[in-house]
Amino acid sequence: MGGRGRSRTQRKHFRHNRENVWKRSKPDSTQQDDGTTTTTTRDPGWEPFATQNPAFDDYYKEQGIVSAEEWDVFVEVIRKPLPAAFRINSSSQFSCDIRSQLENDFVKSLQAEAADGSEVEGIRPLPWYPENLAWQSNFSRMQLRKNQTLERFHEFLKQENEIGNITRQEAVSMVPPLFLDVCPDHFVLDMCAAPGSKTFQLLEMIYQSTEPGSLPSGMVYFSLNLLRSSYMLSHCFCLWFTVVANDVDVQRCNLLIHQTKRMCTANLLVTNHEAQHFPSCHLNKNCANAFENGVAMEPSVHQLLFDRVLCDVPCGGDGTLRKAPDIWRKWSVGMGNGLHGLQVQIAMRGLSLLKVGGRMVYSTCSMNPVENEAVVAEILRRCGGSVELLDVSSELPQLVRRPGLKKWKVRDKGSWLSSFKDVPKYRTAGITPSMFPSGKSYVDTPNNDHDPVLEERHDNDCDGDSANGSEPKKDPESLTDVLDEELSTLPLERCMRIVPHDQNTGAFFIAVFQKLSPLPEDNGRVFLPTAIQKKPSSLHRQLKSNTNSHPDEVANVENQDTNGVEIHSEDVTDKKLPDAAPEAALLGNELEEVASDTDTDKMSEENELEDIQDPVDKEACSKVGGGKRKLQIQGKWRGVDPVVFFTNDAIVGSIKTFYGIDESFPFTGHLVTRNSDTNHVKRIYYVSKSVKDILELNFKGGQQLKITSIGLKMFERQSSKEGSLTQCAFRISSEGLPLLLPFITKQIIEASPIDFKHLLQYKTIKFADFVDAEFGEKASQLMLGCCVVVLRKVDRSLSDPPHVDGSTIAIGCWRGRTNISVMVTAIECQEMLERLSVRDGTGNGSKLLETEQSSVEPGELKANVAETIEDAEIIEVATV
C-alpha cells in the first residue's frame, strides 16, 4: 500500500545523470589562493581523488575551527570515507519490523562476527536521534560492498532504501530538522529543500508526532464521530499542517518531488523560487476586491507566514568531503566568500516569512566561518532585538557539537584580512563588512589609506540603513578603538559546529533563531552585497503595511507584519554575486542519495494535452492588478502547468459511486488538476485543508507562488483498453490509497493471508485459482476495473465486511474479466512478501520469489495490467 516504490526507469536516469555530475571531463578551472586561475584538463583515465589541498589546510588551520593539537586527527578523519547512515522511515508500515530486524538480527550477528575476530565493526543507532530511528554503520559504502560478512546487510540496505522503508542520509544532515521542533499543526517552509532529505525527514517527524487523540483545540475538521479508527484520526489530523518545500533548481525540485512522493502526503507544496525572493503570498486590497463578487470578503492584506523555517542554504559543502572527495580538488576560499551574501539574503527572507514566536534553523554543510558565524552575526545585527539566537545546548544532549567561533578572518587573493578596514578598495565589491566578526564597515578616505572613519553597524545595534545604501553614521569610538583582530560580541557560541572526528561523521553547522517581534521595517528588504547595492535603487518595493486586524479566514494566513515587503524576481534578474563559485552554489549535501534527472526537466504534467495555460484566475486578478501584474504572471510561470481546482461533478460523482466512497470524505475544494481542460485530465490530486487554503490565497493574491507540485496523486485515468470498458474512468493511485482506504465501501475485499501472498507472488490469479474459493467468488462479483484487496487479519472471517485500521495492509488491484491482478510494482510485492513472511514466521520471504514461476496461467488480462502498470511508471517518469 502506498506509492513508496521508485520507478526503475527513473532510477536509471538518476544514475546516468549522477555519473555526469561527478565525472564531467570538461576542463576544470580552479581559483588558486593567490587569486590566479589554473585550468587543467582531466585525464580521461580514472584517477583516485586527491584528499588534500594546501589551500584548505592553510585556511582552516588559521581559522581555528579545531585546535592545533587536534589538526592531525581531524585531517586523518576527513580523508576517510564516510560511514553509511540511514533513517528508518517512521511512516512506513514496516518501520517497527525494520527497527527490530536491525536491533535483534543485524546488530547481534555483526557483534558475533566481530567477536570471532573478523574485524567487523557493528552498526549502531545514532544515540542522539529519537527512538532508534537513525543508524550508522562504521564502515564505508565501499566496505559494505566488498566485505562478504556485510553483504546481507548491504542487500538489506539496498532493498529497504529502494522500497522507501529507509532513507540513506548523512548523519549530520539529519540534525537541522531535529532542532526545528515541528508540531503537527505547523506551517513549515523549507527554503532550499532539494533534493529533499530534510523535507522528507520533516514530514516523517510531523506524521510521527500525530498521536491519536492529540488534536489541538479548534482543529476539528471532520466530525469526530466520523472517525472510525485511529488510522483515520491520524490522517484527518494531518490535514492541518503544511510543508512548503522550495528550491531554485527545477531539476532538483523534481528529485524532491520524487523523493517525497513516498510519503503519500496531501500536505506538501513544492515551489520553485529563489529563496531570497520567496513571494510574500499576500492578499492585497485590489485583488481581494476583485474576488469579492458578492461574496463577503475582508479587503485586508493577508500574508502567508510560517511557524517554522528551515534555511539549509547553498554552501561550499566542505563538510561533505568524506562523501564527495572531489571537493578536495575544487575547494577554494572563493567559494565561501562568494556565497556569504546570498546566504544572508536567504536567511533574512526566511526570518521575514517567519511568524513572531516561530523558529528558524539556519544550516550549512560547510565548515567555513564566513558562511556560518559571519552569516549568523549579520542576521543578528540586521534584526536587532527582534530575533534571538537560541541556546539549544540542552536539546539533543547526546549530539557532540562545538560552540560557534567568536573570531575568524577573511582570506582573499592570498591575503588574510582581520577587518574590513584591511580590504583594498578594489576588492570591496567582493569582500563585505558582514564577513568580519564585528560587521563594521569603514568608509575609505579618498586615497584609500585604510583609515577607519566611519562605522555603519554595531553588534546589537543595527538600523540597517547603511546596508541599504544610505549614509552611514559616524561613530567616534570606532575611530580610535579598532582592534587588529576582531572579536564578535554576539552570542555566537550558541551556534553549533559538528566536526567529523568527534563522532565519525561529516561536518555541519547549525544555528537556531527565534523571532521575538516583527523585524525592523527595513530588514525585510533584500540584503545585497556592496556591488549589488550599487545597482538600480528599485530592487525592492515596500508594500503598504496594514495593521488592521481581521479574523483570518485562511488558516495560518496572518495579517502582514509591518516588515512585509514584496520583491519581484524580475527586479533582480541582472544580479550576480561577487566572486561566487557557481558550482558551490549548487552543492547539495545529499547529492549522493539521489542524483538529478535530466529527463524530468519539466513541470508540465499534462503537457501533451494543452499548451501552457495562464493561471485560471489570472483574468480576474489582472483586471484589478494592473498591467504589470498581468505581464509578470504570464511571463513568470511559463512552462509550469496551472493548478486548477477540479470541480467536474460528473467525474467526481462516478468515482464516488464506483468505489462507494463515504460521503464524509471531503472532496469539495480538495481536488486539483494541472490541466485547465477538466474534461481531459489524466490525474487528480488531493490537497489537505491547509494546502487548499494556501492555494485559495494564492489565487486571490495573483498567483505569486510558482507551484511545481501539490498534494498527492489520488486518481489516474485508465489508459488501457480494458480500462475504457469500466464504469469509472479513474483508478485509485497507490499514493492515494492510504488516505482513501477507510472511506471505500465498494470494490474492496479481504483476502486470506495465503491468497494475499499468492497475489503478491504471482501478480495475476484467475478467480477459480484462489485457495479460498469464496474469495474467488467475491472477487468475480466486483465490477470490472480498479479494486482494493485487503489482507485479512487472523481474527476475522470472510463474511465480515472489510475492516481498516492503522495496521491494515492493502494493495490496489485490477479486477479483469477472469482474474485479479496486482497494480503495484514487483519490488513492492517482493518487499511486502518478505515482511509478511518474517511476521508470520515462515522465514525469508525472498525464498518465495525464487519460485516465481507462476502456477497460474497468465490470463489475457495479465498483459492488460502490465500495460496499466507500465503506463503508470511512464506517467511517473513524466511527472516528477
Ligand X SMILES: C[S@@+](CC[C@H](N)C(=O)[O-])C[C@H]1O[C@@H](n2cnc3c(N)ncnc32)[C@H](O)[C@@H]1O
What is the binding site for ligand X (CB under 6 A)? Answer: 173, 192-198, 247-249, 252, 274-276, 312, 314, 342, 585-586, 588-590
- Whole-angstrom distance, CA of residue 475 vs CA of residue 459: 13
Consecutive H or E run containing 304: strand 302-304
Residues ≥6 apart with Cβ < 8 Å to 752: 771, 772, 775, 792, 798
Consecutive H or E run containing 862: helix 860-879
What Å distances lie between residue 266 and 244, 457, 467, 539, 687, CA to CA? Answer: 12, 45, 41, 36, 5
What Å distances lie between residue 374 and 89, 343, 367, 492, 802, CA to CA? Answer: 35, 10, 12, 9, 60
Give min distance, CB of 828 to ligand X, in A: 24
Give min distance, CB of 125 to ligand X, in A: 21
Give min distance, CB of 319 to ligand X, in A: 10
Nearer to ligand X, 340 or 758 (CB): 340
**For the chain, what's the residue count?**
880
Residue sitting closest to ligand X (CB)? 192
Give min distance, CB of 275 to ligand X, in A: 3
Nearer to ligand X, 177 or 615 (CB): 177
Nearer to ligand X, 344 or 810 (CB): 344
Catalytic residue among 264, 281, 311, 365: 365
- Whole-angstrom distance, CA of residue 237 vs CA of residue 232: 8
The strand ranges marked E within 418-542 are: 496-498, 508-515, 541-542
Nearer to ligand X, 256 or 681 (CB): 256
Nearer to ligand X, 193 or 661 (CB): 193
SS3 118: coil
Nearer to ligand X, 324 or 728 (CB): 324
Nearer to ligand X, 196 or 491 (CB): 196
SS3 66: coil
SS3 742: helix
- Whole-angstrom distance, CA of residue 681 vs CA of residue 645: 12
Nearer to ligand X, 356 or 586 (CB): 586
Q: Is 791 exposed, middle or buried (0-12, 13-18, 19+ CB in 10 A)?
A: buried
Nearer to ligand X, 496 or 652 (CB): 496
**614: how many CB neighbours lie within 10 A of its CB?**
17
Question: Nearest CA to 343 among 432, 396, 275?
Answer: 275
Give min distance, CB of 363 to ligand X, in A: 8
Give 167's strand partners: 87
Q: Which three cell numbers stand for residue 307?
A: 511557524
Give min distance, CB of 241 to ligand X, in A: 18
How far is Cα of residue 615 from the mean position of the Cα atoms in its chain?
25
Whether 594 and 258 have beta carbons less than 8 Å apart is answered as: yes
Q: How many CA atoms lie within 13 A of 825 on its CB side?
A: 22
Give min distance, CB of 559 to ligand X, in A: 26
Query: Would you call 365 a catalytic residue per the annotation?
Result: yes
Residues ≥6 apart with Cβ < 8 Å to 190: 198, 199, 202, 243, 244, 245, 246, 309, 310, 312
Give min distance, CB of 586 to ligand X, in A: 6
- Whole-angstrom distance, CA of residue 359 vs CA of residue 388: 10
Nearer to ligand X, 259 or 764 (CB): 259
- Whole-angstrom distance, CA of residue 249 vs CA of residue 128: 32
Q: Is 107 exposed, middle or buried (0-12, 13-18, 19+ CB in 10 A)?
A: middle
Consecutive H or E run containing 235: helix 230-237
Whether 827 and 162 have beta carbons less than 8 Å apart is answered as: yes
Give min distance, CB of 25 to ligand X, in A: 23
Question: Nearest CA to 201 among 237, 240, 166, 233?
Answer: 166
Nearer to ligand X, 163 or 310 (CB): 310
Give min distance, CB of 585 to ligand X, in A: 5
- Whole-angstrom distance, CA of residue 347 vs CA of residue 509: 14
Whether 749 and 775 have beta carbons less than 8 Å apart is answered as: yes
- Whole-angstrom distance, CA of residue 68 vs CA of residue 479: 34
Residues ≥6 apart with Cβ < 8 Å to 47: none
Give min distance, CB of 202 to ligand X, in A: 9
SS3 30: strand
What Å distances lie between residue 445 and 421, 471, 691, CA to CA? Answer: 11, 15, 55
Nearer to ligand X, 588 or 736 (CB): 588
Question: Nearest CA to 823 among 746, 741, 760?
Answer: 760
Consecutive H or E run containing 557: strand 557-559
Give min distance, CB of 593 to ligand X, in A: 8
Whether 328 and 49 have beta carbons less than 8 Å apart is answered as: yes
Give min distance, CB of 194 to ligand X, in A: 4
Nearer to ligand X, 199 or 559 (CB): 199
Residues involved in catalysis = 365
